[in-house]
């Protein structure tokens, strides 16, 4: 049975809450190129400063970091991959009390929306 998930205050989001292996549970492409690595991604592995993206068509690796806007302190996930560089607003993060289960919602510059889950 799935654990109860609680919303994390995004203005106080610790970077380490994003670490781990994430599975793409849902996505809406909008204006995003459907052939891009991120549009086809199935899994993300986020480790401190490093990211690996796996898709059916291949994989890519690079770096990631959290940036915050000055006005509202909203967190943005910046991804710097070999083939792409983009930012995504973290719109929601939900976690179980023990951190074993999580849901992460991202809104990319291209308009793509993505929901990631752990485990």
pLDDT, tens digit (0-9, with 9 covering 90-100), for 1-46? 567 999 999 999 999 999 999 999 999 999 888 998 999 999 999 9
pTM, rounded to two decimals: 0.93
3-state class (DSSP) for residue 61: strand
The structure tokens listed for 60 are: 């890519």
Report the alpha-carbon angle 100-89-44, nearest 5: 45
The residues that bridge with 111 in the sheet, in sequence order, are none
Residues in the chain: 119
Going from the N-terminus, what domains does the chain have, and what CATH number goes with each?
13-118 (2.40.128)
């Amino acid at each position: 049975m799935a654990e109860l998930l609680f919303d994390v205050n995004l203005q106080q989001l610790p970077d380490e809450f994003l670490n781990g292996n994430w599975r793409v549970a849902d996505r809406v492409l909008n204006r995003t190129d459907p052939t891009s690595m991120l549009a086809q991604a199935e899994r993300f592995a986020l480790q401190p400063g490093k990211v690996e993206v796996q898709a059916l068509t291949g994989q890519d690796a690079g770096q990631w970091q959290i940036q915050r806007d000055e006005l509202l302190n909203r967190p943005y996930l910046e991804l710097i991959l070999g083939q792409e560089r983009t930012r995504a607003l973290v719109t929601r993060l939900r976690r179980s009390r023990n951190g074993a289960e999580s849901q992460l919602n991202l809104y990319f510059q291209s308009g793509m929306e993505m929901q990631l889950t752990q485990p």
